[in-house]
Every structure is written in C-alpha cells, then in structure tokens.
Structure 1
Amino acid sequence: MTTTAIPQVDPTYAGTVRLDEVTVQRFEYPTRGSDADPEQNWADLYLPSGAQGVDTVPLAVLIHGGAWQNQLGADIFDPLARELASRGMAVYNVEYRRVGSGGGWPVTFRDIADALDHVVEVDRRFPQITTDDEVVVGHSAGAQLAVWGGTRHLLEDDEVGAKPAFRPTRVISIAGPLDMVYAATHGDDRIVTAIGGTPSEFPWRYASVDPIQNIDTGTPVVAIHGNRDATVSAENSRRYVEEVTRQGGRAKLVLLEGEDHVSIVSGKSRSYPRVLEIIRYVAAADLQEATA
C-alpha cells in the first residue's frame, strides 16, 4: 500500500488543513525492548478528506484478529479503515507480532500496549485528531486485545502492558473471546497457543489479560457478535456484558442476525453498514450514551 506524508495542523493557532482525499501514512512505533521488528511493529494513520481544524477529527484505533497468529495482518482492516475515514474519522490501524512471526506470550500483548501508547505521539503530531476521547475497536483476537487495552491501568506494575500512557474512553469488541478461560476450557486451543498454556497451567497469565477478569466499570464497552459465529461463541460476549453489568459498569451486547465470525466484518455483509454506524456512534457519543 502506498503511503504519503500527511499535512499537519499548526497547534499554536486555530488553523486548518484541507485534504483532497483519504490519506494514509505509516508509523513504526517504538517497543519497550530493543527487538522491534519494522516489518510488524507499525500502524497506518488514515485521515479523512476535507478541512481539519485543531481537535475536530475523531480517532478510532483498529486491532485486527486472526487467532493471535500470523496468517492474517492489518491489511485485512484496510477497507474498514478507509470506510471510516470516508465518514470523517481518523483511523490508526495497528500491526503487531503474532504467533509464528515472533509473537505469542508476552510479545503480542506487549506490542499492543506499545502501539496504543504511541497514540499519544500521533495525537501530538496531528492536533486535528481529538485527544483524550478515543475508541479502540478490535475483531476476534483483536477484540480481546482491544478490551484488555482499555483496562491496562488496572494492572500491577510488573504485569505486561502496565502503566499505560494511553487510555481509550470506550471500546468496541467484534466477535471477541472476552471470557478467555471459558473459551479455552470449551475447546479454543488458539487461546492456549497464544498464552502458552492452559488456564490451569498459567492462571496468572489469563488473570492478567482476560477481559472478563479485568473489568473497568468506568469504560463503556459495546460487544458486537454474530448469532451464527461457530469460531468464537457469542456466549463469550454475553458472559462479559452480564459481568460488567453485574459490577455496575456500562456494556451492551449487539447480536447480529445471520452473521458468522468472518461475515460480520465483511463489506459484503448486510450488517456491515450497521457495524460502521455503531463505530461512528460510539466514537462520537457522550460517554453516558455510548452503550445506549
């Protein structure tokens, strides 16, 4: 994919830039170790066309899925990123190391933490992006990473991804395994591979990254799931939303009729326009209304 340098708004005055088309620029984000892989530790920033003043363009961070494995990459989210950008949003589409290409425990989770923390630098360089009010969206394994990414401030200092520089204000999970212990003990060996063992072998690893074990009642979460998903059961989203609600938090389950694990993010799906509108609505809504 061809990328170009994006004009920047001067943050010292309320000026604007105007882009004639959706523009994409790639960034290599720094990692906490010295082993960054420039082929995988990057994110593409998409900016919409039109006039852009300071703090006027909402940002969505996208984290792709693929069972935490390297068969799929961030390019699968390029169509979604362009669709959102065409609707006036900035999009930060993240790539990271996965099982089979240097990832797995703990590298994959550390990479996501580092990619999210780099949003602070992106905000600084492009002040047209709204700051301190951003949504993270993930699909499948990326949904687990997205929801976990919104609760890193709850981690102990010695846990992977702790002490975040960036905290999203809202999260959208699409077909996510949000109860990892439940999923792993009901036949999802992809989770076992990503974590490096079963819940009984490494309970502390699951406790550190399992969304249902790391709930922040102050961060609204919308869990979208297809009712025909045979890869990641919708029971994962249902159990998670019920637990958030039980703890007094804000979460909503959106069950899409006739959609499976892949079709739910396909541009050919009849539900695709609704998924796009949910992302736009949640990104722009008042926090109290994000799960309405």
Structure 2
Amino acid sequence: MASGPVDTRTSTTTEEPEYLDEVTIHRFEYPTPGDADSEQNWAELYLPAGEQRVDSIPLVVLIHGGAWQSALGADIFEPLARDLAERGMAVYNVEYRRVGSGGGWPTTFRDVASALDHVSVVDKQFPQITTDDELVVGHSAGAQLAVWGGTRHKLDDNEVGARPVFRPTRVVSLAGPLDMVYAATHGDDRIVTALGGTPRQVPERYTMVDPIQNIDPTTPVVAVHNTGDRMVSSVNSTRYVDAVVKQGGEATAVLLPGGNHGSVVTSTAPEYPRVLDIITGASSADLDDVDEVTG
C-alpha cells in the first residue's frame, strides 16, 4: 500500500496545483443552524495524487458510525478515506456532534445535513471535484445518515434536513439500521436514545429520518451487511432493499458471510477488499447500474 497522505489540515487554499504528487488532506469547518462546535463540525477532503483538472475527480462522502454516540469519531474512517483516495477518488470525511458531545435529536441530523450542504462551498474552492452525481457511504449509524442524506429532497420544508443544497444520488450502506422502527422495537436502544424516544413516543421523528420511510426509487442503494453481525441484524438491509424494490426502485443487498458489525470497515478484515471494490464500483457505474454492483 502507498505511504500515507500529506497532512495539510492547517490551511485551505483557493488555488490547487495542476498536478499533485501525493494525496493531500484539507479540513473545512461547516456552519450549522445555531452555534457550531469547531471541534466537531468539520469535514476533511482527501484529494488523490495526479492531475487536478476541473470536474475530473469523483467525490465520495463518508459518514462514520458509532451508534450516534460520541465514543467514536471520523478518525475511524481515515484508513478507508486514504484507500479510496489512493484509488483516484476525492473523499469528504464528515464529523458531527453525537450523543454525549452535544448531539442527539435533532442536532446530529442537522449537523450531517449541514456538512452535506457544505460540499457546494468545497466545490468552489476545489473545482476539480465533481458534485453532480456523487456517492455517499456510511457505516452503522452513519449508514442511516447516508441513506437519509440521499433522500432529503423528499422531506417537507418544516422537517429536519429538508431542502438540501447538495444531494448524493447514489448510496452504499455498510451494516446500516435502515428500518429504524423495526430495529428499535427489536431491542436496539441506541436508536431510542438518539431520537429521544420510542417509535410510539416520537413517531414524527422516525418518519423524518428512518430510511425505510423516506425511500426515493430513483436513488440506487447498495446495502452491504455481514451475516455474522450481532449488533445490527442484516434483516435491516434486506427489509429495506425489499421495500425499495417493491416501490419500483433500484437496490441490492450484498450479504457477506461471517464477519461482525465492525469488520466490514476494518482494513485487516478479509471482506475489506471487496467492500473497497463495491464502493469503487458504485461510484463509477452508470446510475442505472449501481444496484448491480456487488464487488
């Protein structure tokens, strides 16, 4: 594997060289409704080595998981971001507030929506990235946020995350709780904590952010899940995919044998190369063929 990227987090310039010798990283702080937290409301853009021609580098957005809680942060996706950048993609790795660090309902969801919308600002500073037909990838809680992020345009104007400025048009979900009501009523208390109540107590919140309740048949989704996942059952992915297909949409479930909840994004796990291939394929495929990508 190539050496790690050069860290340029301390400065973000408006002019980029026509050619980069190695991967570089640029940090952005994004604004949020109300007061932002500079230690958490940021995202890092990884630019691949090579020519930096305008509108030439596909963008992949990464949203990390961790049960919407503060124990895990965007740093867990640094290896994945680097590996994707080494494959020639620009990667936008998002940090956001979580339960225990100022997040929860509705802050976590507003933060992610704000981070996604900030892509339009990033594009102005780094016009070599493309932003018209891009992929978002999330793991675990981040997968819920990623799928929701791809369908925010369907929300009513008064709902959290509505009226997106930037919308990913294709999604890869990794071990995602894509049927939040099902998961919450089958023992997943992490969802109840993140949304501040059960589906019976706060049904309108689930309606706003539950992926299976916000399906857009025109947004293709590849739902990857290890069959050995005991934290978020693969039933979440198969139920979601079945619902998308029933509505005439394009989605596929890729069930990887064995593994566990975290190994699907662990660089030393046997399934990791296939996950990289799925992400790469979903990014480069024609939009109508994304649901055929299985690695």
2: distance between equivalents of 1:38 and 1:112?
14
Q: How does 1:1-292 map to 2 (within 5 A)?
A: 2-4=7-9, 5=11, 17-33=18-34, 35-292=35-292
Identity %: 69
Unpaired runs of 5+ in structure 1?
11-15
Checking the alignment, whether the CA contact within 8 Å between 2:12 and 2:27 is kept in structure 1 is no
Q: Secondary structure at the match of 1:102?
A: coil
* Cα shift at 1:2: 4.0
Q: Secondary structure at the match of 2:158?
A: coil
* Cα shift at 1:161: 0.5
Structure 2 letter corresponding to 1:72: L
2: distance between equivalents of 1:28 and 1:272?
30
Q: Secondary structure at the match of 1:133?
A: strand
For residues 9-39 of structure 1, give each alpha carbon's deviation from its aligned partner in whole angstroms, at most 9, with x where no partner exists.
68xxxxx711111100100001122x10000
TM (norm. structure 2) is: 0.95
Q: Secondary structure at the match of 2:129?
A: coil
Structure 1 letter corresponding to 2:69: Q
* Cα shift at 1:8: 5.5
Q: Secondary structure at the match of 1:70?
A: coil
Checking the alignment, whether the CA contact within 8 Å between 1:9 and 1:128 is kept in structure 2 is no
* RMSD over equivalenced CA pairs, Å: 1.3
TM (norm. structure 1) is: 0.96
2: distance between equivalents of 1:32 and 1:164?
14
2: distance between equivalents of 1:6 and 1:289?
36
2: distance between equivalents of 1:169 and 1:114?
17
* Cα shift at 1:125: 1.4
2: distance between equivalents of 1:164 and 1:6?
24
Structure 1 letter corresponding to 2:136: V
Aligned length: 286
1: distance between equivalents of 2:12 and 2:81?
16
Unpaired runs of 5+ in structure 2?
1-5
Q: Secondary structure at the match of 1:267?
A: coil
Change (3 A) 1:190 1:69: same
For residue 3 of structure 2, what is the aligned residue in structure 1? none
Checking the alignment, whether the CA contact within 8 Å between 2:23 and 2:49 is kept in structure 1 is yes
